[in-house]
Amino acid sequence: MHITIFGTGYVGLVTGTCFAEMGNSVTCVDLDQAKVERLARGESTIYEIGLQELLVDNIAGGRLRFTTSAKEGLADAEIAFICVGTPMSANGEADLKYVESAARDIGKHLDHYCLVVNKSTVPVGTSDFVRRWVREELTTRHSEAEFDVASNPEFLKEGSAVEDFMKPDRVVVGVDSTKANAMLPDLYAPFIRNGLRFFSMDIRSAEMTKYAANCMLATKISFINEIANICEHVGADVRQVRLGIGADSRIGLQFLHPGVGYGGSCFPKDVRALVSIGERAGYIPALLKAVDDVNQRQKKVLQRKLLAWCELTGRKIEELTVAVWGLAFKPNTDDVREAPSMDLIKDLSQLGAKIRAHDPKAVDEMRKSLGELTGVTYFKKDAYEATEGADVLCLMTEWRPYRRPDFRKLAQQLRGKTIFDGRNQYSEARVAHLDLKIFPIGVPPAKDDGVKAEHKHAGG
């Protein structure tokens, strides 16, 4: 098929490249000239495992092209995917200005039948707006070109997006025409050979499915973090509690990982957007509001633990050097949007502490997002450069190289002999023979660690 992708951000670039990998002819349209030039040279603008190789191969094979011209991109298009960003506005609603711009560009240049598919995460009912925007532009130029509108939400996980697209758990489409209901199953047939994971439904239900899925996952994360904080107050170990409840097949262990909260481009935005959608419809989504509130508090959990540690050990926060391992909101990506590490670094910098931060992929993105903060030094290569001369270490992202560190070396480097484990990756038993303390999330301090009972309540 001839496919046009509007937007070469995270979703658009992965979608276009993977469709090309299956033999489709794909043209990606983006307004950013510099970005288009980079992509046309085969330089991926995001870090995603396997994407760079597929990008180069499909450009070389003539199946993948990039342009700033909507007219050029739509010349032979059978399906046009809208994959632009929907940033969160001040009131929590999804901002549809980029979706409208793409829809109007389609209407300005379409001269033949095309299926317009919205893949951006949008409020329920957005397809009606897309249809209107395209129709208005066609009417303005007296064009009789026909089109249909469909919804095809994405369910990609950053860090494994290529794998997720090529071998999806499911494909959800929202359609209201016979043509659309025939074209989309045909397009996705190579990705789901048995057809058992293809779900065709009405458009509004498809739009809602995306929000419901992300909000469910965010709810599980906030739930286990709430349990972790209660565990610290009552003397229980959330790591053991997690295993006990996760063994229930109705619950499972996925996304039940206590830590410093969720971040990224999807969960925070989508939870708040669905709250806004519910409120505009006359319903107050109390549970979703609580999910967001818990997550905002959880992003500060290591700050509270660190301040309590300073108070109980007689140290001053402004005299500390804090090593931070992990800047991306999760492993295998360079995305730092709403990353808990961002809150930690900003807060510590404002309090006067020095920060030595390491991440294998996300340093440039964090520096771009935060600017040059006082007392912050970044490291890209050796993680132990960040811990050299530091008082304590805060683990913020569970990159593989951090999971089994040289604890003996850390015990020698860290003047305060303390690790605040924001991702519950480390076992106290592994450092029992060393002069090194580990404080996980949701685990009360050991009786012999020299920390008073008040520290137990720093998690809440």
Burial class of 368 by CB neighbour count within 10 A (0 to 12, 13 to 18, 19+): exposed
Residue in this structure with the two tokens 């870090």, named with its chain if needed: 47
Residue of 129, 106, 118 lying closest to 151 (CA atoms): 118
Helix axes 267-280, 203-234, angle to 10 degrees: 110
Q: Active site includes 215?
A: no
What is the CB neighbour count within 10 angstroms for residue 167?
Answer: 11
What is the CB neighbour count within 10 angstroms for residue 164?
Answer: 17
Q: Which of 215, 266, 310, 394 is catalytic?
A: 266
For 286-323, the DSSP string reads HHHHHHHHHHHHHTTHHHHHHHHHHHHHT--GGG-EEE
What tokens appear for 385 in the block?
């450069």
Distance CA 120, CA 11 (A): 8
DSSP β-ladder status, 418-421 and 64-67: unpaired
Cα→Cα distances 291→275, 308, 421, Å: 10, 25, 22
What tokens appear for 53 in the block?
């190789």
Distance CA 345, CA 359 (A): 13
3-class DSSP state for residue 89? coil
Catalytic residues: 266
